[in-house]
Structure 1
Amino acid sequence: MVKIGNVDIGEFPLLLAPMEDVSDPPFRALCKAQGCDMMYTEFISVEGLIRDAEKSVQKLDIYDYERPIGIQIFGAELDSMMRAAEIVEEAQPEVLDINYGCPVKKVVCKMAGAGILQDIDRMVELTEAVVKSTSLPVTVKTRLGWDDNTKYIEDVAERLQDVGIKALSIHGRTRKQMYKGEADWTLIGKIKENPRIQIPIFGNGDIDSPQKAKLYRERYGVDGIMIGRAAIGYPWIFREIKHYFETGELLPPPTVAERVGAAREHLRRSLEWKGVKLGTLEMRRHYTNYFRGFPNIKEYRKQLVTEEDPATLFAVLDEIQEVYGEQFAKGEVA
């Protein structure tokens, strides 16, 4: 069994990556229902937390059905990170995770997220301070390095383990790559081969099918896989990978009814948790994947990403169910 500290997360856990404006409670509920073993919140600004900013504090919302769950923070100032760790502990997650991987400019320019990859000594110092500030197991999510010339992740893994982190998730790209090109898991595999490394190592980047998950599991020997973009609008990725691991067989894709049902449930939860304005707005990134591959879906998708009235949105989803359900029955929708 894989453990983060004393937290048991399964034999080969599938983890939901922390994604800003995506990994919220409505989305997490769907992923959990489809077999996700460990989830993380959206990343939370430590400066927002210690200043009691509404948006930051709301991201601390976690529910019993989500457990085990990690709350992820990002920041660059020692005192702020330590104070935020105390606030996170009060929310009682199983794990506190530090983001050293976000490549977005507004985060990086403050030497937070992947920005800290330019100063590894500082990264280690911040991490050690957080570990000492909380009784929660502390984990880290990061990248291979700042650019191709600074892929120090093998050394970083050892140093972070030495200051007390309990697991490390590694995205197989540098900050300079952002999300472009193919994720390189080679160094992730080398870290797993290092006899000094005793903590779980989770690989992240480009896992978008059961076959690829199995290949990378076997090739790189990771303790688990973290999935991000492939789960957006497609929470079934978790059940499909697990089924493939267990049987070697591919599950049929979700039916029209399952897709529409998930979209409806997601929208309902989003409206409930965020309110009408934000709930409808932040659902828009999910619709394309919910109905990917549907023929002539463009007009419906346009309505879903422009309409602001919830009743109308639910009506559009009902119409998709009616129209494409018939096509599915006739074998016209795969």
Structure 2
Amino acid sequence: MKIGSIDLGERPVFLAPMEDVTDIAFRLMCKQFGADMVYTEFVSSDALIRNVSKTHQKLTVSDEERPVAIQIYGREVEPMVEAAKICETAGPNIIDINFGCPVKKVAGKGAGSGMLRNIPMMLEITREVVKAVNLPVTVKTRLGWDHDSKVIVELAEQLQDCGIAALTIHGRTRSQMYTGEADWELIGQVKNNPRMQIPIIGNGDVTSPEICKERFDTYGVDAVMIGRGSIGRPWIFREVKHFMETGSKLPAESFEWYLDVLKRQVMQSIERLDERRGILHIRRHLAATPLFKGIADFKSTRIAMLRAETIDELFGILNNIPEQFNIGAEKIDLHQI
């Protein structure tokens, strides 16, 4: 599979762009575990051209994470074009346009998936961004605004005509947010449309190696993107790649092995930010990780872990978990938890 001239190999697996999740430290970790391409957190075009410092920090990319895409969002042509040009100077491999974010503060203002209610503007933004930069431009969007307006099959052709190099489809409407099950049937319809010539990337509810392979086999997508399934579990890419290559599950690791990965995430978060903000940032991963699911009577420890404010306090709790809950050195299969 190629996006522009970027060769991503057969059946590549990507890390989805996620706000407050896919910072450079997490992207690098997922890359080390086998992600074939990674995406930044989404970048507001308006904030970027206003030179907001926090927004500009999201543009930092490193050679170790390539190929990497910077994702931008907005609701007007000129700010999106200017933002794309700014992002291009940061040196990513791809510019990705977010027409899929469903949260109210984005979609409610007409950006993200809010653009699904203004298709002409979506297409105009896409055309102008493609013309403004020399990098491949891709789009990520949803099936439609709601159940009665699933427009993705026709919309995909229109976006392709704008000159994009690839299209990612999250298999939900905006009104679904992240509820219900992702509808991959419509993603498959787009992929199997003989008029579609660009790569189609499927996204939604990919939480295991088996599901990832099934999505490739059943729907014929060119790539699969993993989002929430990677939070607190960056090793999922290692598991997926092994299963895709061998057809067998990767041997399980010890509890301590998984715990060490999470502790590395904590340390990288603190190094990138500072102790207080780094710990706040990593709480989402600690809350979502499957590592602690199924441990009996873990509730009070979970609460203490998510309330910890210093590295000494947090690591004291984490390091005590194996002894506190009598977890030995045997391998554990997180798929069974």
TM-score normalised to structure 1 length: 0.95
> Is 1:156 equivalent to 2:189 in the alignment?
no
Query: Residue 279 of structure 1: CA displacement?
Result: 0.9
Query: Residue 213 of structure 1: CA displacement?
Result: 1.2
Q: Cα–Cα, structure 1 residues 239 and 331, in superposed 2: closer, same or farther, change >3 Å?
A: closer
Q: Which runs of 5+ in 2 are unaligned?
A: none
1:17-44 deviations in Å (ceiling 9; x for gaps):
1011111112112211111100000001
Structure 1 partner of 2:72? 73
CA distance in 2, matches of 1:330, 1:143: 42
1:166-216 deviations in Å (ceiling 9; x for gaps):
010000000001011110011111111111111110000011111111111
Equivalent positions of 1:43-54 (< 5 A) are 43-54=42-53
- Contact 1:273/1:279 (<8 A) preserved: yes
CA distance in 2, matches of 1:218, 1:333: 25
Query: Residue 323 of structure 1: CA displacement?
Result: 4.6
**Which residue identity does 2:328 align to in structure 1?**
F
Equivalent positions of 1:14-33 (< 5 A) are 14-33=13-32
Structure 1 partner of 2:184? 185
CA distance in 2, matches of 1:295, 1:235: 24
Q: Cα–Cα, structure 1 residues 332 and 72, in superposed 2: closer, same or farther, change >3 Å?
A: closer
- Contact 1:166/1:200 (<8 A) preserved: yes
CA distance in 2, matches of 1:218, 1:283: 34
CA distance in 1, matches of 2:302, 2:171: 32
> Is 1:302 equivalent to 2:317 in the alignment?
no
**Which residue identity does 2:82 align to in structure 1?**
R
Moved more, 197-206 or 242-251: 242-251
> Is 1:226 equivalent to 2:194 in the alignment?
no
Q: Cα–Cα, structure 1 residues 330 and 32, in superposed 2: closer, same or farther, change >3 Å?
A: closer
CA distance in 2, matches of 1:273, 1:243: 30
RMSD: 1.6
Structure 2 partner of 1:57? 56
Structure 1 partner of 2:264? 265
Structure 1 partner of 2:38? 39
> Is 1:176 equivalent to 2:180 in the alignment?
no
Aligned length in residues: 332
Structure 2 partner of 1:318? 319
CA distance in 1, matches of 2:269, 2:13: 24
Q: Secondary structure at the match of 2:149?
A: coil
1:51-85 deviations in Å (ceiling 9; x for gaps):
11111111111111111000000001111001101
Q: Cα–Cα, structure 1 residues 102 and 330, in superposed 2: closer, same or farther, change >3 Å?
A: closer
Structure 2 partner of 1:329? 329
Moved more, 237-246 or 79-88: 237-246
Q: Cα–Cα, structure 1 residues 333 and 297, in superposed 2: closer, same or farther, change >3 Å?
A: farther
- Contact 1:259/1:291 (<8 A) preserved: no
Structure 2 partner of 1:246? 245
**Which residue identity does 2:164 align to in structure 1?**
I
- Contact 1:140/1:169 (<8 A) preserved: yes
- Contact 2:167/2:198 (<8 A) preserved: yes
Query: Residue 95 of structure 1: CA displacement?
Result: 0.4
Structure 2 partner of 1:12? 11
Query: Residue 330 of structure 1: CA displacement?
Result: 6.0
TM-score normalised to structure 2 length: 0.94
Q: Cα–Cα, structure 1 residues 223 and 332, in superposed 2: closer, same or farther, change >3 Å?
A: closer
- Contact 2:165/2:199 (<8 A) preserved: yes
CA distance in 1, matches of 2:62, 2:158: 33
